[in-house]
Amino acid sequence: MEQETQHPSPRFSPEALEKTEEIFRRYPPEHREAALMPILHLAQREFGGWLAPETIEYVAEFMNLAPIRVYEVASFYTMYNLKKVGRYHIQVCTNISCWLCDSNAIVETLKCKLGIGLGETSGDGRYTLAEVECLGACVNAPMLQINDDYFENLTPEQVVGMIDQLP
């Protein structure tokens, strides 16, 4: 029987703990659970760009919530990653406006350039390619997001140049 690898329990850094206090101050004390989404976002940034099961447990304990409550939120919203993503998380909008402006060409260009399909991570852990429903810039379609940066009015040639310029 194969032994499971135990991951160390995550703990917020002192800087992140300061940020959690700032987040909690935005909400009335009797509604502290309303801070869950920004706390999850902070945890995702703090612990490698995704929410491992250990991270979800830690956030639940940190906020005094049932782990299933945290998991429900984390699994509902696409901005939370429940599996490890590459150094560059590339999310391409394929919703109606982007699709009408040929986001399919952007997707195909990225698949060829990166050598991976949608929902996959490159073998070196550098890139994860994901399809998303809407990134909220329909007027400037097609668009994509790389980590926290948005890129709009794209052509396949521009996308190749963007990938080539990533450090």
Run of H or E residues at 145: strand 144-146
Domain-wise residue ranges, the chain: 14-76, 88-165
Q: Identify which of 36, 115, 41, 118 has the alpha carbon closest to the alpha carbon of residue 70.
A: 36
What superfamily would CATH give domain 14-76? NADH-quinone oxidoreductase subunit E (1.10.10.1590)
What span, in angstroms and rounded, lies between the C-alpha atoms of 1 and 83?
A: 24
Q: What is the mean pLDDT of residues 144-158?
A: 96
Measured between alpha carbons, how far is residue 35 from residues 23, 77, 127 in Å? 7, 15, 30
Q: How far apart are CA 143 and CA 79, in angstroms?
A: 16
**What CA–CA distance (Å, rounded) separates 56 from 157?**
39
The pLDDT of residue 8 is: 62
Q: Average pLDDT for residues 126-144, to the nearest whole number? A: 95
Q: Measured between alpha carbons, how far is 143 from 123 in angstroms, rounded to an integer?
A: 25
Instruction: Name the residue with higher pLDDT: 1 or 31.
Output: 31
List the beta strands (DSSP E) in 33-137. 88-93, 120-121, 127-132
Top-level class of domain 88-165: alpha beta
- Per-residue model confidence as pLDDT tens digits over 67-110: 999 999 999 998 899 999 999 999 999 999 999 999 999 999 99
Q: Do 71 and 59 meet the contact criterion of CB atoms below 8 Å apart?
A: no
The pLDDT value recorded for residue 53 is: 96
pTM passes above 0.85 = no
pLDDT, tens digit, 9 for 90 and up, residues 11-45: 999 999 999 999 999 999 999 999 999 999 999 99
